[in-house]
Amino acid sequence: MSHDGHHSVVIPAPGPEFVPHTVAHHFDTPVQEFQSLKLGFWLFLATEILLFGGLFAAYFYYHDLYPETFREGGRLLSWKLGALNTSVLLASSWTMAMGVRSAQTSQKKKTLIFCGLTVLGAAAFMVVKFFEYKSKHDHGLVIFTELFSGYDEAAKQLPWFKDYDGAMANVPHGHMFFAIYLTMTAIHGIHVLIGAGLILWIMKGTAKGRFHAGYYLPVDLVGLYWHLVDLIWIFLFPLLYLVP
Amino acid sequence: MTTNVPVIDAHPTVPGLPKNYLNCSRGFMSWAGTLDHKRIGIMYLIGTLLTFLAGGVFALLVRLHLWEPHGMLFTNEKYNQIFTLHGAFMVFLFVIPAIPGALGNMVLPLMLGAKDVALPRLNLLSFYLWLSGAVLATLAIVLGGFDTGWTFYAPYSLYTNQAVVTIGLAIFLLGFSSIFTGLNFIVTTHKLRAAGLTWFRMPLFVWAIYATAILQVLATPVLGITVLLVAFERLYHIGIFDPRLGGDPVLFEHFFWFYSHPAVYIMVLPAFGIISETVSVHSRKPLFGYKLIAFSSLAIAIISFLVWGHHMFTSGQSTYAMFAFSFLTFFVAIPTAIKEFSWVATIWKGSIALNSPMLYTLAFLIIFAIGGLTGVILGALNVDLHLHDTYFVVAHFHYVMMGSIALAFFAGLHHWWPKMFGVIYDETLAKIACGIIFVGFNITFVPQFIMGSQGMPRRYATYVDEFHGYHQVSTIGAMILGSGVALMVYYLVASLLQRKPAMENQWGGVTLDWQTPTPPPLENFYAPPKVTHEVYDYSTLDLKTLQRPVS
Amino acid sequence: MAAHTHNDGHAHGHADHHGHGELQMGHHHVSSTAMFTNVLMVLLVLTIVTVAVSRFDFGGANMLIAMGIASVKASFVILFFMHLKWDTAINKITFLCSFVFLSLLFIFTLADQATRRLDHDIHVVKTKVDKQWVHPSTLSGK
Ligand SMILES: [Cu+2]
């Protein structure tokens, strides 16, 4: 019992390669701790949905206002790379789910392998993203080196959007699609990197034997975060690469 | 009929043994690195009171400047910065975080019978996010200031040559501070209630903080993305809010008010919670309509997401949207009125003790009735077209923000001050200060209602001579109000130095926060509390000792 | 929530110490590998379907179809990969709430934008009325 505040509840390790988990002093039971942190994390995920939701609202708002711009812009993105990245993320969601499952069943080695594969998936996603960005840069659709050059008041021109091929010449405010594309994919990409970092942290804890059937909560939560990253991409893919 | 609380036989706190949360450890790190919700609450209290005083100084500067029609103190540009500072400091650094951060942190786990909040580390992170926000906001002043008003409307906020990105980042951090506080309180309320503490035995302060937390979690992220987009817009011109680039500034207003209307309830719901406590304890009567008040908090939280467009009646929003928003706005009045009537009915035939928290509460009830009703007036579409952006709006939201929320905060501060520090302030001075604040407040803002209805626009550095008298009365009122606040700060600080011990149960409360030693020990309760009484059940309270018989 | 099956039969390292009803949900669902794999297959197939339907022009329905398929995919991720199907009621409500309140932002913002085009009719009437309107002071017995 932990009521006197001196003796905390300890979850024993299931084997010699694991370490026991001590329940935080202000919780009475491991279940209370588990459920509190999990509810807290779902609430955090809800805030992520609303944060991204603002960007989606902006997307729909301007998709309504400038439908041709979005249609033409969508054609300039490579749907093949988008589909490739979608598959990579979906597969990495699978490996993450398997990683959580391995932690739930105290399979240390498998947890490490599946988490490692998930990080590889994240890396692959970012590599594909890099080539995608590079192609946009080369065509003058998003000139990354000019992003912070400021608005050219005299020429009424955006330095980062030059559209060398004139592909967007016939639609109003051609930069608008690419501004939204860049903002959404960049913020999503930051989440991918954060997620990969968290998974690496989980792998470190797993290697030390901290996570097992009695206590796998951090693996579970990082898994949820990774699935959220996937979830957002599921909507980004058709909206940006296959503009309806 | 009023009776004073019999305090003759009450036990004063014994200084020294046993140790409480204030003297259990010493040193800078024992505070800066603390995970104890009470110490974090105290740090929030100090921080938010300092920003309140800073915001108050900016307010007095604004009022002094307006003493003469052509302005007394500043250039017009400087004036724009000063009123922006007043608004931004008061809203983002004081009103939103003060009650949940300071009093909520202090009291909520006590009321739930918990040892701490569910996520203590996140709680400390919330405080440091608040602190970084405060530092950045102050830095923004040094970096050239900002003159956009606290609303940061595009496109002006995109073009003005000032530290908008810095203050935007500050607001982003403050937003996440607020989100994490709310998240923490939701989890704590769900998972850390003491044995026997069912949902309908929870004090109404907990219900109010819970409803607030829902708003904090669901509305604030949209503010976060909005200030990020403004920052991106300024840094690399994405065009989403910029009409030069095909963007629509009205979209900014939608995003901003999707957060900022619910934010009004993030500010006012905790105030309602405090009033529910003080009105019951100081009338010695269970709350009239307990469940109605509890559910009206949730109703307000939900309805507040449906009405934000009433801030945009002159922005170029579609006429149809304006109809809908105006219509829906009136529904907020129903749960709000339920609360006001329930409080008044609670006082009725109560055994009223006119302690200083009760005086602040009564002042709240009067001022909030005016503040709320003028809000209904402004929600009417056709009336708002006339009153939009006039001093009528300024007076309305100051009746809510300052007159209601700040006074409720003071009521809560006086109510729980003895609990927090184990000392009691000079009750006579407290009553005098409350009177001065109430009078000063009304002298400040009644003339603003009149000026506003006659067309005096808000945020102007100068005005036509016809309004001279009103402005001067308003400025005098602000000085009176300021001196009342100064008196309050004086006797509160003095109480900490004089250390006149408070009673164990200063006012005779029966919720769990009054069933723990004063000040509480590190983990709040010596034994895990069990709740066997209905909430606000004063029948077993010994009026002489203000203690419940030990069961 | 009742106890769930443990496919791998691993006992938890703890027992419930208390009799509180709320604290008895100590059993966590462990899904089978086959289920995860099936879900992945469904998601990949739906990705192909997403690309395929984008080749056809359904007019305004394209957006609805694309978002519909994405929502189905999202539901699979949420229910199975994120385990929400076996999670507590409050966690389900929490996550659902984020979508409900987000939809409010969408509905009102987009409804404003969509109905602004209709404002034209109102302005035609309003201009007429404005022209006929005379200030009361000019009507009085001057
Ligand atoms: Cu409002």
Cα B263 to averaged position of ligand 1 atoms, centre (Å)? 9
**For residue C125, what pLDDT band results from cuts at 50, 70 and 90?**
confident
Chain C positions contacting chain B at CB under 8 Å are 20, 22, 90, 97-98, 101, 104-105, 108-109, 111-116, 118-119, 122
Tell me the three state secondary structure of residue A215: strand
Handedness of CA B342, B343, B346, B349 (dihedral sign): negative
Chain C segment 64-123 residues within 8 A of A by beta carbon are 65-67, 69-70, 73-74, 77-78, 80-82, 87-88, 90-91, 94-95, 97-99, 101-102, 105-106, 109-110, 113-114
Phi/psi for B547 (5° steps) reads -115, 150
Domain ranges of chain C: 30-82, 88-116
Nearest by CB: A213 against C12, C37, C77 = C12
CATH number listed for the domain at residues A37-241? 1.20.120.80
For A122-166, the pLDDT digits (tens) are 999 999 999 999 999 999 999 998 888 888 888 778 889 988 888
| Res C1: pLDDT | 33
Nearest of C44, C68, C65, C70 to residue C54 by alpha carbon:
C65
Amino acid at B27: G
**pLDDT at residue C121 is higher than 80:** no
Give the max Cα distance, chain B: 74
| Res A2: pLDDT | 36
Angstrom distance (rounded) from CA B509 to CA B536: 8
Q: Would the CB atoms of A50 and B221 count as touching at under 8 Å?
A: yes
Size of interface B-C (CB pairs under 8 A): 54
For C48-59, the pLDDT digits (tens) are 999 999 998 888
Provide the mean pLDDT of chain A.
92
Say which residue the tokens 């930069």 belong to: A175
Cα B256 to averaged position of ligand 1 atoms, centre (Å)? 11
Q: Provide DSSP, C58-79.
A: -TTHHHHHHHHHHHHHHHHIII
Residue of chain A with shortest Cα separation from C59: A244
| Res C36: pLDDT | 95
Cα A116 to averaged position of ligand 1 atoms, centre (Å)? 49
Q: Are B225 and A48 in contact (CB under 8 A)?
A: no
| Res C26: pLDDT | 47
| Res B26: pLDDT | 86
| Res C140: pLDDT | 64
**For residue C141, what pLDDT band results from cuts at 50, 70 and 90?**
low
Q: Provide DSSP, B61-87.
A: HHHHHTTSTT-SSS-HHHHHHHHHHHH
| Res A149: pLDDT | 83
Nearest of B282, B410, B295 to residue B347 by alpha carbon:
B282
Nearest by CB: B217 against A26, A46, A176 = A46
Alpha-helix runs per DSSP H in B454-508: 468-498
| Res B548: pLDDT | 56
| Res A147: pLDDT | 87
Angstrom distance (rounded) from CA B324 to CA B307: 8
Enumerate the β-bridge partners of residue B352.
B2
Q: Would the CB atoms of C8 and A105 count as touching at under 8 Å?
A: yes
Angstrom distance (rounded) from CA B64 to CA A46: 45
Tell me the three state secondary structure of residue B5: coil
Angstrom distance (rounded) from CA B107 to CA B471: 40
| Res B544: pLDDT | 66
Q: What is the mean pLDDT of residues C39-49?
A: 97
How many structural domains are present in chain B? 1
pLDDT along chain B (551 residues), means of 10: 35 58 89 95 97 96 96 93 95 96 96 95 97 95 90 90 92 97 97 94 96 96 96 90 91 96 95 96 92 93 94 91 94 94 94 94 96 94 93 96 96 96 95 97 97 94 95 97 97 95 89 90 89 86 62 37
More confident residue, B539 or C38: C38
B25 located within any domain: no
CA of C121 to nearest chain A CA: how many angstroms apart?
Answer: 20
Mutant choice from C103, C112, C117, C119 vs B, greatest count of B C-beta within 10 A: C112
Mutant choice from B37, B228, B236, B266 vs A, greatest count of A C-beta within 10 A: B236
Q: Would the CB atoms of B192 and A26 count as touching at under 8 Å?
A: yes
Tell me the three state secondary structure of residue A196: helix
Q: Are C6 and C27 in contact (CB under 8 A)?
A: yes
Q: Would the CB atoms of A96 and C40 count as touching at under 8 Å?
A: no
Nearest by CB: C30 against A29, A105, A238 = A105
Amino acid at B479: M
| Res B451: pLDDT | 95
Tell me what percent of the residues of chain C surpass a pLDDT of 90: 51
Q: HSE on the CB side for B455, CA within 13 Å?
A: 3
| Res C128: pLDDT | 80
Angstrom distance (rounded) from CA A9 to CA B551: 28
The answer to whether residue A183 neighbours chain B at the CB level (below 8 Å) is yes
| Res A236: pLDDT | 96
Q: Are C30 and C11 in contact (CB under 8 A)?
A: no
Residue of chain C with shortest Cα separation from B307: C108
Q: Are A10 and A23 in contact (CB under 8 A)?
A: yes
Angstrom distance (rounded) from CA C72 to CA A206: 33
Cα B311 to averaged position of ligand 1 atoms, centre (Å)? 6
Handedness of CA B273, B277, B283, B286 (dihedral sign): positive
Cα B310 to averaged position of ligand 1 atoms, centre (Å)? 6
Spans in chain A with pLDDT lower than 70: 1-7
